[in-house]
Chains A and B, each alone.
Chain A
Amino acid sequence: DQQVKQNSPSLSVQEGRISILNCDYTNSMFDYFLWYKKYPAEGPTFLISISSIKDKNEDGRFTVFLNKSAKHLSLHIVPSQPGDSAVYFCAAQRAGTASKLTFGTGTRLQVTL
């Protein structure tokens, strides 16, 4: 039972263009969502998050959008840079469970020159 889904295993985008990574969830008890970035042979690093009381959160080139009614969130990267090439994981959390994250399967982003 995959409660957090990332249906696109990979995405290729040209440098300077927008990258859009999608994530869907099924558990309506999730109230906090995070994106992590992972390079090969390293641990995931936190990128950006959003609370369920918001529908958008922006941090520099990274923006996360949340559509609660559709149980869908997306990460926008504008403009995309070659250093953004990595695997991106969507994660979700229920209230009061800060030590427990439910992760999606990841999307490998490749930014080409």
Chain B
Amino acid sequence: NAGVTQTPKFQVLKTGQSMTLQCAQDMNHEYMSWYRQDPGMGLRLIHYSVGAGITDQGEVPNGYNVSRSTTEDFPLRLLSAAPSQTSVYFCASSYRGGRGTQYFGPGTRLTVL
């Protein structure tokens, strides 16, 4: 099992550009989530999904879109990148009954100039 994979590892954008961060898992997990990690802020939940076709907002959803058409994939879209979105982004997945034991991908480091 590859677990949770994320691409790209690094990305530099200019303000106003759009892009999609990819996330895939091969563990057949129902739940998937996106977090961002900023210095001194810990990890904050952006969006999450409890199954294909079902998504909901987390703590910091503004400026991001998600969709979940398959169990395996959960892409995160930045509509119009802003410097405030410079961060490290982590995707995570878990079993429906996993009581929070989420498995994280290696992260995408995004810089918005």
Does B107 have its Cβ within 8 Å of any Cβ on chain A?
A: yes
Which B residues touch A9, using CB under 8 A? 40
> Is B104's CB under 8 angstroms from A43's CB?
yes
User: With A and B bound together, what is the CA distance between A83 and B26 in angstroms?
Assistant: 29
Q: Is B42 a contact of A103 with CB atoms below 8 Å? A: yes
Interface flag for B71 (CB, 8 Å): no
Question: How many A-B pairs with Cβ below 8 Å?
Answer: 72
Q: Is the CB of A41 within 8 A of B31?
A: no
Please tell me if the beta carbons of A103 and B44 are within 8 angstroms of each other in the complex.
yes
On whether A99 and B107 interact (CB within 8 A), knowing A44-B43, A91-B100, A104-B42, the answer reads no
**How far apart are the CA atoms of A36 and B94 in the complex, in Å?**
14
- B45 lies within 8 A of chain A by Cβ: yes
- Residues on the B chain within 8 Å of A103, using CB: 35, 42-44
**Interface digits, A29-42 against B, CB 8 Å rule (1 contact, 0 not)?**
00010101000011
- Contact indicator A43/B106 (Cβ below 8 Å): yes
Q: Does A74 contact B (CB under 8 A)?
A: no
Check A34 against B48 for contact (C-beta < 8 Å): no
Task: Judge whether B32 is part of the interface by a CB distance below 8 angstroms.
Answer: yes
Q: A89 interface residue, CB < 8 Å from B? A: yes
Contact with B along A95-108 (1 / 0, CB 8 A): 00011111111100
Whether the pair B42, A43 counts as a contact (CB closer than 8 A) is no
On A, residues with C-beta under 8 Å from B are 4, 6, 9, 32, 34, 36, 41-46, 49, 51, 89, 91, 93, 98-106
